[in-house]
Amino acid sequence: MSIIVKDLEEKIGTDKVEEILDKEWKVAEPPSEEQLAKEELKHPKARNNPNSRKNLAQYNKRSKEAKEKALDNLKVVEKEEDFDPYSIFDEDSKSVITTFETLIHPREIFKNRSEQEIFWNTIQMFLKDFDIKELSFSDFDDIASLAKYTVLEHRLLLVASKSEKMVLEAMPSIDKIKKDNKEIKKNLAARRVDRIDTKNKPAFSIVELASHLDQQNKLDFEKRMLEIESAVKEYKPPKRDAQGNLIED
């Protein structure tokens, strides 16, 4: 069972958050002295002073900046069933699943079921190109790292899609992940070629094998970049005055 903590924007979307910010928030009536006196009997350590109580946010009209701050601090906690790798692997792969769970602990380090699913689908995709019985520990470790980096790249792209500034901040990390993945694929390809019996079956070149392994990731990355470019084009930066403060519409 995964415990997911989201901010309000992740839960309901940017448009809904903007709609909430544009609305007038209700202001509560401060309690009377009689009410405060009754509360003090039940909760002596509470803020029962009238002057202290009336300064609380719920008793005052809030600016848009104050609303944004309140919503930023609001968190939504959800429970979600873990992704079951046996739904894509057969029973004979039980030992393989255990090996990768030991190496990475996907239930612990990935934020949600979607990230777990990306991890296991990436594992399955790469294992199709190998004879599982011949895999060394280094092979398992490299494939696990590739799957982990695929998840982290996906996570960065989701964050980057929120604004143009975040795209620029995320790109160096994404480029580093792609560079590391390329090196790992070369190592996997080299070890695989070393194990091939060239007398009985043709050997694949490192370039051919690495290209094959990289094809699907390239397609996924191009699709994500198109989504980000579309989001950036639609993004309208907030208006600010000369001091950099937000200007309410």
pLDDT digits (tens, 9 = 90+) for 92-121: 778 889 999 988 888 888 888 889 999 999
Percentage of residues of the chain with pLDDT beyond 90? 9
CA distance readout (Å), 196 to 113, 187, 190, 222: 37, 15, 10, 33
| 6 has pLDDT over 80 | no
Q: Could you tell me the end-to-end alpha-carbon distance of the chain, in angstroms, rounded to an integer?
A: 43
How confident is the model at residue 198, as a pLDDT? Answer: 45
Q: What gap in Å lies between CA 139 and CA 129, rounded to an integer?
A: 12
Contact 157, 210 (CB under 8 A): no
DSSP category for residue 129: T
Q: What is the rounded (10 degree) CA torsion for 5, 6, 8, 14?
A: 180
| 177 has pLDDT over 80 | yes
Taking the model in full, what pTM does it have?
0.52
DSSP category for residue 46: S
pLDDT digits (tens, 9 = 90+) for 37-79: 777 666 655 566 666 677 777 777 888 888 888 877 777 666 7
Confidence band for 144, pLDDT divided at 50, 70 and 90: very high
pLDDT digits (tens, 9 = 90+) for 191-245: 877 776 545 545 444 445 455 556 666 666 667 777 766 766 666 666 666 666 6
Confidence band for 134, pLDDT divided at 50, 70 and 90: confident
How confident is the model at residue 203, as a pLDDT? Answer: 47
Q: Classify 23 as helix, strand or coil.
A: coil
